[in-house]
C-alpha cells in the first residue's frame, strides 16, 4: 500500500492552506468577483488534454441544466453533496493515456480528470430556492438574477461540450460576477468549480488550482466537513493537478488523504442502520473511492510503480463491477487498463486473459470504444510474439477507429502497426542469421 506519507500531514497542510484561501475568498466576495475575473483572464491556446478521470467539463450540481428552463432550474442551484458529476474511473475520448494502443512505453500522466461512464449522472440538488429576499418585488428581482446566472451556466456548459472554450470562459466570468453581486454562495461555488475544470482543460493548471481552492474555501467556511464527498473530490482534482506538475509529494499526500478519508467513511457507513443512509450517497461514496484508486493507479503507472498501480486498478475494477455491472463501459475500460499494466509487468498471459474478457463483453454490449480495447489486445499479442493475430486485430481496430472518427486512436493504432512491422522484420533477420534455423 502507498503509505509513505502520514495523512495527518496532508490534513494539516490542507487546513493551513485553506485558511489562507478562505480569507482570500472573503475578500473576493467583498470585491464582487474582481479577483475571480483576474484569475481567469489569461488566455491559453486550447489543447487536447488527457482528461485523466478527474476534471470533467461538468460540475456536480445543477441537475439536467441543459434541459431545464431558468424557472425550472432555479431550485436546482443549491449545494449538493457532490459538486460535479463523478468522472469516470477512465474517461472515454479525451482522457486516453499515451499507453493506449502503444507498443511498450509506460503511460504518461497527462492529466488528472474526466468524462463520462463511471459517473452516475449529476447529483440531486436541494429543492429550495436561493432567494433571501422577502417582499414580492425584491424576490422577483432575485429570481431574475438567478435566471440570468442559470442561463449563463447553461451556455457555458454547452460551449464546453462543443469545444468552444473561450466562449465558455466569457459566460462563466459573467456568471461569477452576478453570483458575487447577489451574494449567492451556492452559485459562486458551482461557477468556481466549472471555471476550475475549464482552466484545467485549457492547460492553465495554476489557475485551476486557485479556483478549486477558492471553491473549497467557500464550502469549508460554510460548515461543510472535510470528509464531505464534495471536498474530497476537489482534493482529488488538486492531487491530479499536482501529479501533472510533477509535484509528487503534494500529489501523494492528496491521493492518500482522499483514499483514507473515503475508506474511513465507508467503514462508518457499514455501522449505520439501513435507513440512516440513502442508496445514492452510499453509491456515490464508493464510486468516488473507485475514481480515486483509478487516478492513483495512473499516477503510479506513470512513475513506473507498476505493482502499486496494479493493486489500485484491481480495487477500482472491483468497485466498478459491483456498482456499475460487469458489462458497463467503464468496467471494460478498467479491465483494459489493468491488462495494460499487467502487460508492462511482463505478465502477458494474465494481461491477455483480462483484455480478452473486456473485448468479448464490449462486443456483446456495443462498447463505444471497442477499437481501443481491440488495439490494446493487439499490443499484448504483439508482446507475446503472436504477430499474425496481432496484425489482424490492429487492422480491425483501425477500421473501427476510422469509422468512429477517432483521429487520436487511428494515430496510436498506426504506431502499433509500425512497431509490429519492426518486430516482424527483426524476427525474420534473426531467423536468417541463426544457423540452426537452416
Residues 305 and 341 in one domain: no
Q: Does any domain span residue 3?
A: no
Instruction: Give the pLDDT confidence of 239-281 residue by residue, as tens digits.
Output: 999 999 999 999 999 999 999 999 999 999 999 998 899 999 9
pLDDT reading at 426 higher than 70: yes
Residues 383 and 406 in one domain: yes
2: confidence class by pLDDT, cuts 50, 70, 90: very low
Residues 298 and 330 in one domain: no
Q: State the residue for C-alpha cell 447553461.
A: 154
Residue 162 burial (C-beta neighbours within 10 Å; 0-12, 13-18, 19+): exposed
Domain that holds residue 335: 325-426
Q: Which residue has the higher pLDDT, 373 or 16?
A: 373
Q: State the residue for C-alpha cell 481491440.
A: 374
Please list the alpha-helical segments (H only) found in 202-247. 205-221, 229-244
Confidence at residue 275, expressed as pLDDT on a 0 to 100 scale: 87
279-302 vs 248-271: helix axis angle to the nearest 10?
150
Q: Does any domain span residue 2?
A: no
Residues 305 and 354 in one domain: no
Q: Does any domain span residue 1?
A: no
Confidence at residue 141, expressed as pLDDT on a 0 to 100 scale: 82
User: Is the distance from CB of 258 to CB of 285 less than 8 angstroms?
Assistant: no
Q: Mean of the per-residue pLDDT values for the chain? A: 76
140: confidence class by pLDDT, cuts 50, 70, 90: confident
Q: Is the dihedral of CA 53, 56, 61, 62 positive or negative?
A: negative
Under the phi-then-psi rule, with left for phi > 0, alpha for psi from -120 to 50, and beta for the rest, what region is 59? beta
Residues 205 and 95 in one domain: yes
Q: Does any domain span residue 344?
A: yes
Average pLDDT over residues 148-175: 96
pLDDT reading at 418 higher than 70: yes
Q: Does any domain span residue 166?
A: yes
Residues 344 and 385 in one domain: yes
Confidence at residue 193, expressed as pLDDT on a 0 to 100 scale: 94
Out of 290, 316, 342, a domain closes at: 316
Out of 289, 316, 343, a domain closes at: 316
Q: Does any domain span residue 248?
A: yes
Whole-model pTM? 0.71
Residues 223 and 351 in one domain: no
- Give the separation between CA 102 and CA 105, rounded to whole angstroms: 7
Residues 65 and 139 in one domain: yes
pLDDT reading at 96 higher than 50: no
Confidence at residue 50, expressed as pLDDT on a 0 to 100 scale: 33
Residues 174 and 308 in one domain: yes
Instruction: Give the pLDDT confidence of 107-130 residue by residue, as tens digits.
Output: 333 333 333 333 333 332 333 334
Distances (CA, A) of 82 to 11, 194, 229: 20, 13, 6
Confidence at residue 345, expressed as pLDDT on a 0 to 100 scale: 96
CATH at 355:
1.25.40.10
Instruction: Give the pLDDT confidence of 39-65 residue by residue, as tens digits.
Output: 222 222 222 223 333 333 333 333 233
Domain total of the chain: 2
Out of 288, 316, 344, a domain closes at: 316
Q: Does any domain span residue 346?
A: yes
Instruction: Give the pLDDT confidence of 374-403 residue by residue, as tens digits.
Output: 999 999 999 999 999 999 999 999 999 999
Residues 330 and 306 in one domain: no
Q: Is the dihedral of CA 136, 139, 144, 147 positive or negative?
A: negative
Residues 69 and 188 in one domain: yes
Q: Does any domain span residue 434?
A: no
pLDDT reading at 151 higher than 50: yes
Instruction: Give the pLDDT confidence of 288-308 residue by residue, as tens digits.
Output: 999 999 999 999 999 999 999
- The single-letter DSSP state of residue 61 is -
429: confidence class by pLDDT, cuts 50, 70, 90: confident
Long-range CB contacts (< 8 A, 24+ apart) of 325-331? 326/361, 327/361, 327/364, 327/365, 328/117, 329/92, 329/117, 329/362, 329/365, 329/367, 329/368, 329/369, 330/88, 330/89, 330/90, 330/117, 330/118, 331/361
pLDDT-wise least confident of 94-103, 144-153, 426-435: 94-103
User: Is the distance from CB of 130 to CB of 78 less than 8 angstroms?
Assistant: yes
Q: Which residue has the higher pLDDT, 27 or 301?
A: 301
Residues 149 and 171 in one domain: yes
Nearest to 97 by CA among 112, 86, 87: 112
Amino acid at each position: 500500500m502507498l503509505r509513505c506519507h502520514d495523512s495527518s500531514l496532508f490534513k494539516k497542510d490542507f487546513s493551513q492552506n485553506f485558511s489562507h484561501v478562505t480569507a482570500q475568498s472573503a475578500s473576493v466576495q467583498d470585491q464582487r468577483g474582481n479577483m475571480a475575473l483576474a484569475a481567469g483572464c489569461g488566455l491559453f491556446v486550447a489543447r487536447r488534454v488527457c482528461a485523466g478521470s478527474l476534471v470533467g467539463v461538468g460540475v456536480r450540481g445543477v441537475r439536467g441544466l441543459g434541459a431545464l428552463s431558468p424557472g425550472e432550474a432555479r431550485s436546482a442551484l443549491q449545494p449538493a453533496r457532490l459538486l460535479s458529476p463523478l468522472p469516470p474511473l477512465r474517461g472515454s475520448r479525451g482522457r486516453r493515456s499515451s499507453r493506449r494502443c502503444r507498443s511498450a512505453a509506460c503511460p504518461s500522466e497527462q492529466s488528472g480528470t474526466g468524462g463520462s461512464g463511471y459517473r452516475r449522472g449529476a447529483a440531486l440538488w436541494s429543492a429550495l430556492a436561493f432567494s433571501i429576499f422577502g417582499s414580492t418585488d425584491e424576490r422577483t428581482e432575485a429570481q431574475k438574477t438567478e435566471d440570468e446566472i442559470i442561463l449563463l451556466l447553461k451556455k457555458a456548459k454547452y460551449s464546453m461540450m462543443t469545444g468552444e472554450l473561450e466562449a465558455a470562459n466569457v459566460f462563466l466570468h459573467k456568471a461569477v460576477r452576478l453570483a458575487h453581486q447577489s451574494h449567492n454562495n451556492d452559485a459562486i461555488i458551482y461557477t468556481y468549480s466549472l471555471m476550475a475544470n475549464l482552466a484545467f482543460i485549457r492547460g492553465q493548471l495554476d489557475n485551476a488550482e486557485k479556483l478549486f481552492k477558492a471553491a473549497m474555501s467557500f464550502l469549508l467556511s460554510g460548515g461543510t466537513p472535510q470528509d464531505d464527498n464534495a471536498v474530497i473530490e476537489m482534493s482529488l482534482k488538486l492531487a491530479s493537478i499536482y501529479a501533472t506538475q510533477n509535484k509528487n509529494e503534494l500529489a501523494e499526500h492528496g491521493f492518500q488523504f482522499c483514499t483514507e478519508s473515503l475508506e474511513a467513511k465507508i467503514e462508518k457507513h457499514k455501522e449505520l442502520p439501513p435507513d440512516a443512509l440513502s442508496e445514492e450517497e452510499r453509491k456515490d461514496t464508493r464510486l468516488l473511492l473507485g475514481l480515486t484508486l483509478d487516478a492513483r493507479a495512473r499516477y503510479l503507472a506513470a512513475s513506473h510503480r507498476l505493482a502499486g498501480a496494479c493493486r489500485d486498478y484491481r480495487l477500482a475494477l472491483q468497485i466498478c463491477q459491483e456498482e456499475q455491472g460487469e458489462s458497463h463501459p467503464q468496467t471494460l475500460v478498467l479491465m483494459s487498463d489493468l491488462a495494460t499494466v499487467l502487460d508492462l509487468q511482463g505478465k502477458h498471459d494474465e494481461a491477455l486473459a483480462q483484455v480478452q474478457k473486456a473485448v468479448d463483453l464490449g462486443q456483446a454490449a456495443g462498447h463505444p470504444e471497442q477499437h481501443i480495447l481491440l488495439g490494446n489486445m493487439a499490443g499484448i499479442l504483439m508482446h507475446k510474439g503472436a504477430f499474425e493475430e496481432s496484425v489482424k486485430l490492429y487492422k480491425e481496430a483501425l477500421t473501427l477507429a476510422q469509422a468512429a472518427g477517432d483521429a487520436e486512436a487511428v494515430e496510436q493504432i498506426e504506431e502499433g502497426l509500425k512497431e509490429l512491422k519492426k518486430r516482424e522484420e527483426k524476427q525474420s533477420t534473426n531467423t536468417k542469421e541463426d544457423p540452426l534455423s537452416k
